[in-house]
Amino acid sequence: MPSRKLLTAIAAPAVLTLASVAPALGGTQAGTASAAPAKAASSQAPRPNLVFVMADDLGWADLSSGLPNGGYANDYNETPQLDRLAAEGQSFTEAYASVQCSPTRTALHTGQYATRPTNNTYAVSGIAGLPSDPLLGAPHGRPEDGRSAVPVGYPTVGETLQGAGYATGYSGKFHVAGSAAEIVASHGFDENWGGSQNSHATYYFATNDQFNDSVSPSLDQFAADYTQDYVDENIAPYSHGVSDAQLDALVGTDKHVTDAQTDAAIDFIDRSKDEPFFAFVSEFAPHFPVNDAQARSDLLAKYRAKAPGSAPAKPSYAALTEAVDQSVARIVDYLETTPDPRNGGKPLADNTLVIFTSDNGGEEDPIDAGAYNGPLREDKGFMYEGGVRVPWIVWSGGSDLVRGGGRTNETIVNSTDLYTTLASYAQAELPAGVPLDGVDLKPAFSKGTTINRDHFHHVPGYVRFGGQVQSRPFSSVRDGRWKLYYEYTDGSFELYDLKADLGETTDLAADRPGQVHRLGQKLIAWLDETDAPLATLRQGQPPRVIEDVSGETYANGTITRRRGETITVTAGQPVPFVLPRP
């Protein structure tokens, strides 16, 4: 393996602890109880290091391994390092994010569903809709300024780990903050390299050793042009199917943001390895813009010369995706070749948990993106499986942290689970009085246990991209093989058997009213438990009359049981969830 040049470090800001956060928020604890950290026996390894890597807009079927996606391996993109992690680690084939990146990221940091008032992020921007839409989306964003951002003062996963003695570092896209300064001052990270309130990198390369203003200038320390030593040590060892001449041609050219944020992450890990660390590596790629000008030249040349397979072939997208794979390769290589000063000089990898995922379904638009979700229905922004299902891989060099060997697990995973799971591994005390919606996945990661749980999603408004309506107000629940959707614009249900119909092609709602009602009861109970807000009838719309309602309705935070009643919804009133008796 290559030697690694130490990168110049800057002083880290003061560490925040839970004591510096605003008083605990009200509510009941959901999923996992708050408990004092257990004391590890002296014979055990010290508390593990934690590395979380998240690609941006990577599709469910974009990896060349079939393990994370039910066998739908991509035959055009090449991701050898992630394939290796899947083969040695454990893949979760039923993992979910949200319809867009902002709600996913807010859920990761808060451990809460979007329905909680201390989350309240449903899309990248507002969900009110247009004047022509019949419903008005619910208020959206954090209470202090309406941004799609984590509330200042909320005890995030970063702060919880800080309070447990972890060094915390953030590299790459953050998005759900009011400013770059908030990431360190309010959201639990000792250091931040490149993260800000911006939604994506509008240009992937540095110019004159600086990235443009879509990337925080904190990353500019790593923006210097490629040198021969850099290429030989940090790119060549992880390249496949690229000639020496193509690698040498990088020397003297502008640094790609994926390489720069990887430099920052490894530098942070190197400086923090004397204590337990949490590295959150949030890749900018392969989010649009996806075109030849955004791809590193060696990888772009490789894919231009490659014959397409059965998966969609877009050279620039494949090049951005393989660059993310190389980022993971560099981080894992460092972990495997660096002695751990806290663990008797064994490799850092032996006591480090690595998680890889994406922030939402891939965007399949061939002009702007180029992702592939395989057989799943629709893509980013849509309520169906293609919009929300993501790859999820866990790996460690230590078998006590991850039960691996290429195992796949059908546990339903949600973004809210990261908080409770990392806190469990870190033996960190959860914030008292804060409702956390995540499940502790440590038994699944470390033992291969399948955890039975339901998954919910709720968007009380409109999700649009480029003027197109992707999702109207909806709620959904996943329970085992079944998934139920409810659309508020017309009060309709859709039911799919995902085991028999992964592509959601056959709506079974009319044929299985009993199943609709069973799942509907779970969904209405969850809406009530989380006090989910609803869209309202827009001003100027005629009253909506729902006749002969026998069953249950949810609105205004209350479930009402009805017998043959007529409901009239006037402008400004919430449009209820209506669950008829079968």
Q: Is 101 a catalytic residue?
A: yes
Nearest in space to 445 (alpha carbons), one of 377, 554, 352? 352
CA dist 395 and 332 (Å) reads 10
Whether the Cβ atoms of residue 90 and residue 66 lie closer than 8 Å to each other:
no
Distance of CA 410 to the CA centre of its chain: 18
DSSP code per residue over 19-49: GGSPPPPPS---SS---PPPPPPTTSPPSPE
CA dist 479 and 485 (Å) reads 12
Strands 49-55 and 277-282: parallel
Residue with tokens 């827009």, as numbered in its chain:
538
HSE, side-chain direction, 13 A CA sphere, residue 37 = 19
Kindly list the distances between the CA atom of residue 414 and the CA atoms of 51, 358, 456, in Å, as whole numbers in the listed order. 18, 12, 9
Which residues, 6 or more positions from 542, have their beta carbon under 8 angstroms from its beta carbon? Answer: none
Q: Is 187 a catalytic residue?
A: no
End-to-end CA distance of the chain: 64
Neighbours of 4 (CB within 10 A): 16
Annotated catalytic residue: which of 109, 175, 256, 457? 175
Kindly list the distances between the CA atom of residue 458 and the CA atoms of 68, 123, 462, in Å, as whole numbers in the listed order. 25, 11, 11
CA dist 336 and 350 (Å) reads 8
CA dist 471 and 432 (Å) reads 35
Whether the Cβ atoms of residue 338 and residue 273 lie closer than 8 Å to each other:
yes
Strands 389-390 and 191-193: unpaired
CA dist 520 and 129 (Å) reads 26
Residues forming the active site = 101, 175
